[in-house]
């Protein structure tokens, strides 16, 4: 039996190129490769033209900077001066409020001073020396608090310092204080209590019907 010739099952492979499917919405090849117009770049204008300002010379810049620095310095000086004035004003107001509280206490102490004054008018001998020593110590404590007596005898009447109780005929010039019924006092530079006084008046001016009538008491 003779052998059958072997069939050549291996066929030459022929590459077959399938047509590519066209994508939907894709442009034709010719149109897809068209060059689109490139965006034009904005040309930058010179700063001086774009801002609408003129070029400033370097020395002008220096003058402007010096002017601004001087303005700032003046402003700082004004602020500092205003702050210092504010500190002084608030400190003064605080002291005044504190002094007002001390004045109320000082007025209550004057009652004791009046009692000492009256006691010295009636006490004599050894008792008077004791009262004088106590009164002297008391006056020192008042002075330590800024309270000092007002000297009125022989001074001219001052409505801001004295309260006139009456007028009396005297050889002295009219309006001179000749007697003191209640001593006046200062608290620092303020009047703590007005002095109650009697002032002089000329003898010929005295009204015989109303002797001792005060013409300035109101």
Q: Is residue 11 part of a domain?
A: no
- Range(s) of the domain holding residue 75: 61-142
pLDDT of residue 158: 93
Residue 199 belongs to a domain with what CATH number?
2.30.22.10
Concatenate the DSSP letters of all residues of 61-116 into one string: HHHHHHHHHHHHHHHHHHHHHHHHHHHHHHHHHHHHHHHHHHHHHHHHHHHHHHHH
- Model confidence pLDDT, tens digit, residues 158-215: 999 999 999 998 888 889 999 999 999 999 888 999 999 999 988 764 455 555 555 5
Question: 0.75 exceeded by the pTM?
Answer: no
* pLDDT over 70 percentage in the chain: 66
| Statement: residue 25 has pLDDT above 60 | no
Residues sharing a CB contact under 8 Å with residue 103, sequence separation 6 or more, in sequence order:
187, 190, 192
- Model confidence pLDDT, tens digit, residues 104-147: 888 888 989 988 988 888 888 888 888 899 999 999 989 988 89
pLDDT of residue 207: 56
* Helix ranges restricted to H, 123-199: 126-144
Total domain count, the chain: 2
Rounded Cα gap, residues 164 and 152, in angstroms = 12
Same domain for 173 and 103: no
Q: Is residue 106 part of a domain?
A: yes
């Amino acid at each position: 039996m003779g052998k059958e010739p072997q069939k050549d099952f291996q066929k030459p492979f022929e590459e077959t190129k399938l047509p590519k499917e066209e994508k939907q919405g894709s442009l034709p090849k010719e149109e897809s490769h068209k060059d689109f117009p490139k965006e034009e770049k904005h040309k930058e204008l010179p700063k001086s033209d774009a801002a609408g300002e003129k070029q400033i010379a370097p020395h002008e810049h220096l003058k402007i900077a010096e002017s601004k620095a001087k303005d700032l310095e003046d402003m700082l000086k004004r602020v500092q001066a205003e702050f210092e004035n504010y500190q002084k004003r608030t400190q003064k107001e605080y002291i005044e409020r504190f002094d007002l509280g001390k004045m109320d206490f000082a007025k209550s102490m004057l009652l004791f001073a009046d009692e000492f004054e009256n006691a010295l008018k009636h006490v004599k001998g050894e008792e008077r020396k004791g009262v004088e020593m106590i009164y002297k110590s008391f006056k020192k404590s008042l002075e330590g608090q800024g309270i000092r007596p007002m000297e009125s005898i022989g001074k001219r009447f001052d409505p801001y310092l004295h309260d006139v109780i009456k007028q009396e005929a005297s050889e002295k010039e009219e309006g001179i204080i000749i007697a003191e019924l209640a001593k006046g006092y200062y608290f620092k530079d303020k009047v703590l209590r007005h002095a109650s006084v009697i002032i002089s008046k000329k003898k010929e001016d005295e009204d015989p019907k109303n002797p001792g009538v005060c013409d300035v008491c109101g």
